[in-house]
């Protein structure tokens, strides 16, 4: 029995549970719902919830755990002799999985029955032919031992599926019967449902947190691998970035970090003033009719994919800056530059800053504006001295959010600033950022155990720590000022 059918069964059991619980509650008081502690529907809900939710969680956990356990037991079957030179245990396991899947397909399409398949296992060449006929192409000839492992894999998976169906159904039926037995006029079904819902909400919010923790752990783990192969001192202190896949690379983070900060700085230099002024115009000066048109128009900018901005940087802004600024000023001859990427990224960030700040400025109470006008202040005095300071914590938050985005942006940098890691002050020089290098270190035909690829995780971790620090700073600022300005 597969998971889809099980889910369907669970849903049916839930519906049945609702009706049964409701009916039993009503029959206990002879149809007079006033004798019950809760509305009859709540009794139905408790039965449905206890029938479905624990069983569903078990199903979910089983589906996640079973492949891991089966993999572990089959991996133990593989002998060192099965691993060809140049190959690895992981690659052999991948073959085992593919063969097992191919066998499954052969049986499912009716090309073979189980008996014929079992007969094929000692004849690897025949098996290989049948598999390739079913669309599973294998490079190397199949070792007999591997075919056995694949058979064992299939057997264990099938056993697991059967056990899963049994135990899930057992849990569902137990929950169903137990909660149905619990139904009594004095049973506080309403409170039970309330508690149940609270626990489901807690579970939902912990998924987000657990995922974050999981991501951090995987980053830390891989970074630790990297620092085993490459000294942390060099990574954090070296000023050169020149990965060589033959070995002997210099993997200093500073050129990349510098590029990231430089590009983000220029982007914010563009986005913050323009975005803020746009927000102030929209919220304080624009007529409602104009605002209704202009605000969505600015927000359209936020919907443009960043690769389109990258093209804009590559084709338009880069050559323009080169021909009109860099060359006449003698600052360089390259159309990809920090300036190009920064300016285009700044344009991309304008709607983030303006839209968020606009909402925040609008939230400043009208009474403060009235107070200021009532003292004879002009509109711009009011905005500068009263509205803006009151909105400041929110605006700082908006700017730091834009900064986090700037730091994480990749496409615009690839197309606008190039891929050369360099430590330079000249903004018309090509540079690159941490994110671009993470991509370039992980793409391409490289093995996953060299410092040159693992460095990507250390870079990612550094970036993560960096933006985390930024967010904590933002929270701190917002909290500090919020106490002062209520």
Partner 1 sequence: MNDMRLTERAVTQTAKITARGVQVHYGTNHALKDVDVDILDKTVTAFIGPSGCGKSTFLRCLNRMNDTVASARVTGKIEMDGQDIYDPRVDPVQLRAKVGMVFQKPNPFPKSIYDNVAYGPKIHGLARGKAELDQIVETSLKKAALWNEVKDRLSAPGTGLSGGQQQRLCIARAVATSPEVLLMDEPCSALDPIATAQVEELIDELRAQFSVVIVTHSMQQAARVSQRTAFFHLGHLVEYGETGHIFTNPTDPRTEAYITGRIG
Q: Which of 107, 368, 396, 477 binds partner 1 (CB under 8 A)?
A: 368
Nearer to partner 1, 282 or 347 (CB): 282
Q: How far is the CB of 472 from partner 1 (least distance, A)?
A: 24
Asked whether 84 and 140 are in contact (CB, 8 A), the reply is yes
Residues across the chain? 486
Which of these, 409, 265, 283, lies nearest to 354 by C-alpha position?
A: 283
Segment interacting with partner 1, rule: CB under 8 A, options 20-28, 211-219, 277-285, 379-387: 379-387
Q: Assess 181 for contact with partner 1 (CB under 8 A).
A: no
Segment interacting with partner 1, rule: CB under 8 A, options 219-227, 300-308, 367-375, 463-471: 367-375
Tell me the longest C-alpha to C-alpha distance in the chain. Answer: 97
Buried b (16+ CB within 10 A) or exposed e, 17-41: bbebbbebbbebeeeeeeebebebe
Q: Assess 375 for contact with partner 1 (CB under 8 A).
A: yes
Q: Assess 479 for contact with partner 1 (CB under 8 A).
A: no
Restricting to residues 279-338, which ones interact with partner 1 according to CB under 8 A? Answer: 287
Buried b (16+ CB within 10 A) or exposed e, 291-305: beeebeebeebeeee
Q: How far is the CB of 380 from partner 1 (least distance, A)?
A: 11
> What are the start-end ranges of the E strands in 370-477?
none
Q: CA 232, CA 448: separation in Å to the nearest integer?
A: 19
Q: Which of 51, 390, 434, 436 binds partner 1 (CB under 8 A)?
A: 390
Q: Which of 141, 273, 365, 469 binds partner 1 (CB under 8 A)?
A: 365
Q: Which of 41, 54, 160, 389 binds partner 1 (CB under 8 A)?
A: 389
Q: CA 341, CA 410: separation in Å to the nearest integer?
A: 10
Nearer to partner 1, 217 or 485 (CB): 485
Segment interacting with partner 1, rule: CB under 8 A, options 40-48, 114-122, 209-217, 376-384: 376-384
Nearer to partner 1, 202 or 293 (CB): 293
Phi (first) and psi of residue 402, to 5 degrees: -60, -40
The structure tokens listed for 340 are 């190009």
Q: How far is the CB of 209 from partner 1 (least distance, A)?
A: 34
Asked whether 100 and 117 are in contact (CB, 8 A), the reply is no
Residues that bind partner 1 (CB under 8 A): 287, 365, 367-378, 381, 385-386, 389-390, 484-486
């Amino acid at each position: 029995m597969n998971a889809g059918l099980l889910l369907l069964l669970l849903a049916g059991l839930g519906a049945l549970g609702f009706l049964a619980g409701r009916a039993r509650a009503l029959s206990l008081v002879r149809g007079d719902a006033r004798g019950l502690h809760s509305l009859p529907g709540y009794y139905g809900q408790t039965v449905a919830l206890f029938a479905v939710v624990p069983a569903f969680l078990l199903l979910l956990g089983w589906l996640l755990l079973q492949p891991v356990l089966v993999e572990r037991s089959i991996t133990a079957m593989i002998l060192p002799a099965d691993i060809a030179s140049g190959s690895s245990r992981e690659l052999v396991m991948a073959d085992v999985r593919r063969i097992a899947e191919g066998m499954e397909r052969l049986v499912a399409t009716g090309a073979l029955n189980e008996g014929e398949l079992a007969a094929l296992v000692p004849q690897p060449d025949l098996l290989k032919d049948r598999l390739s006929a079913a669309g599973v192409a294998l490079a190397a000839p199949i070792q007999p031992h591997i075919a056995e492992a694949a058979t064992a894999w299939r057997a264990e998976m099938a056993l697991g599926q059967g056990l899963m169906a049994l135990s899930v159904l057992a849990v569902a039926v137990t929950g169903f019967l137990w909660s149905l037995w619990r139904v009594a006029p004095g049973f506080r079904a309403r409170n039970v449902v309330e508690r149940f819902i609270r626990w489901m909400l807690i579970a939902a919010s912990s998924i987000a947190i657990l995922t974050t923790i999981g991501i951090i752990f995987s980053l830390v783990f891989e970074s630790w691998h990297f620092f085993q192969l490459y000294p942390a001192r060099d990574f954090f202190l070296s000023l050169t970035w020149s990965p060589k896949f033959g070995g002997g690379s210099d993997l200093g983070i500073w050129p990349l970090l510098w590029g990231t900060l430089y590009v983000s700085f220029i982007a914010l230099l563009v986005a913050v003033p323009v975005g803020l002024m746009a927000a102030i115009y929209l919220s304080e000066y624009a007529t409602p009719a104009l605002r209704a048109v202009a605000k969505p128009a600015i927000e359209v900018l936020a919907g443009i994919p960043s690769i389109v901005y990258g093209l804009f940087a590559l084709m338009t802004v880069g050559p323009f800056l080169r021909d009109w600024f860099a060359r006449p000023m003698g600052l360089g001859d390259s159309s990809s530059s920090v300036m190009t990427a920064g300016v285009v990224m700044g344009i991309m960030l304008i709607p983030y800053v303006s839209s968020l700040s606009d909402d925040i400025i609008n939230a400043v109470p009208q009474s403060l504006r009235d107070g200021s006008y009532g003292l004879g202040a002009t509109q711009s005095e009011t905005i500068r001295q009263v509205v803006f300071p009151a909105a400041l914590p929110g605006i700082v938050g908006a700017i730091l959010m834009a900064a986090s985005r700037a730091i994480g942006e990749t496409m615009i940098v690839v197309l606008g600033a190039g891929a050369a890691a360099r430590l330079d002050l000249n903004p018309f020089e090509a540079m690159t950022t941490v994110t671009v290098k993470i991509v370039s270190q992980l793409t391409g035909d490289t093995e996953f155990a060299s410092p040159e690829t693992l460095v990507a995780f250390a870079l990612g971790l550094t970036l993560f720590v960096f933006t985390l620090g930024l967010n904590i700073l933002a929270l701190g600022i917002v909290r500090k000022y919020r106490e002062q300005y209520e």
